[in-house]
Amino acid sequence: MTSRYNIKVTPVFKLCLEKLATFLTRKFSHSVATETRQAIKEKISTQLSTQPYAAPRSERLTELGLTEYRQLLIDKHNVVFFRVDESNSTVILLLVIDSRQDLKKLLFEVNLLA
């Protein structure tokens, strides 16, 4: 039997998801933004809730000194960053970004880097 992890959505993740939806709506269309949000939710519920360690550690965040985070590729351009709290069987969602975004700039915008 596969153990299940609870999913915790942080305020920063929610903010990043809204920023991503706004970007996609402006750049493409509302339907693209809606489809992307749905794909993100689906992949989180099917993959992270059962196999969070299947996702690799994030090299991009490690380079910035954030070493405990993993990344889940949603599709060609979208990535979810998260960490696993094994003691509580919880996956904590940190960020969702379009991989073409400047990660360092986004982290400054959401106050995760000083």
Question: What's the pTM value of the predicted model, to 2 decimals?
Answer: 0.88
- Count helices and strands (H / E) in the chain: 4, 4
Q: How high is the mean pLDDT of the chain?
A: 90
Instruction: Return the percentage of the chain with pLDDT > 70, whole number.
Output: 95
What is the rounded distance in angstroms from the CA atom of residue 93 to the CA atom of residue 73?
13
- From residue 64, give the alpha-carbon distance in Å to each of 17, 40, 43, 48, 102: 21, 24, 26, 23, 12
Pairing of strands 6-9, 78-85: unpaired
pLDDT at site 3: 73
- Tens digits of per-residue pLDDT, 14-29? 999 998 999 899 999 9
Reported confidence tier of residue 102, pLDDT bands at 50, 70, 90? confident
pLDDT at site 18: 93
What strands, in cross-sheet order, belong to the sheet with 6-9? 6-9, 90-98, 78-85, 70-73
The average pLDDT across 70-94 equals 95
108 versus 31: which is more confidently predicted? 31
